[in-house]
Amino acid sequence: MKCLVVLCALVALSECLVRFPLIKGKSARDILQEKGQLEEYLQKYPYNPMVKFQQTGTEPMTNDYDMAYYGVISIGTPPQSFKVVFDTGSSNLWIPSVYCNSQACQNHQKFIPQQSSTYKWLGQALSIYYGTGSMQGYLVSDNVEVGGITVAQQVFGISQSEAPFMASMKADGILGLAFQSIASDNVVTVFDNMMKQNLVSQKLFSVYLSPNSEQGSEVVFGGIDGNHFTGQVTWIPLTSETYWQIKMDSVTVNGQTVACNGGCQAIIDTGTSLICGPTNDINNMNSHVGATTNQYGMATVNCQNIQSMPEVVFTINGHAFTVPASAYVSQSSYGCSTGFGNGGSQQLWILGDVFIREFYAIFDVDANYIGLAKSK
Torsion of CA 96, 203, 131, 158, to 10 degrees: 20
> What is residue 215's DSSP assignment?
S
Torsion angle, alpha carbons of 360, 92, 4, 85, to 10? 50
In 181-211, which positions are buried (b, 16+ CB within 10 angstroms) versus exposed (e)?
A: ebbbeebebbbbbbbeeebbebebbbbbbbb
Instruction: List, by residue number, the catalytic residues.
Output: 87, 269
CB of 329 within 8 A of CB of 309?
A: yes
CB 189 within 8 A of CB 91: yes
* 355 vs 353: CA distance, rounded Å: 5
Residue among 206, 233, 247 nearest 371 (CA): 233
Chain centre distance of CA 80 = 23
Ordered DSSP codes for 304-346: GGGGGSPPEEEEETTEEEEE-HHHHEEEETTEEEESEEE--S-
**Amino acid at the residue 30:** D
Asked if 90 contacts 5 with a C-beta cutoff of 8 angstroms, the reply is yes
What's the rounded Cα separation, in Å, for the pair 53 and 270?
A: 10
* Torsion angle (degrees, nearest 10) of CA 121, 123, 124, 129: 70
| Nearest in space to 91 (alpha carbons), one of 224, 194, 2 | 2
Which residue in 287, 290, 270, 268 sits closest to 279, CA to CA? 287
Name the residue among 220, 320, 226, 233 with its Cα closest to residue 270.
220
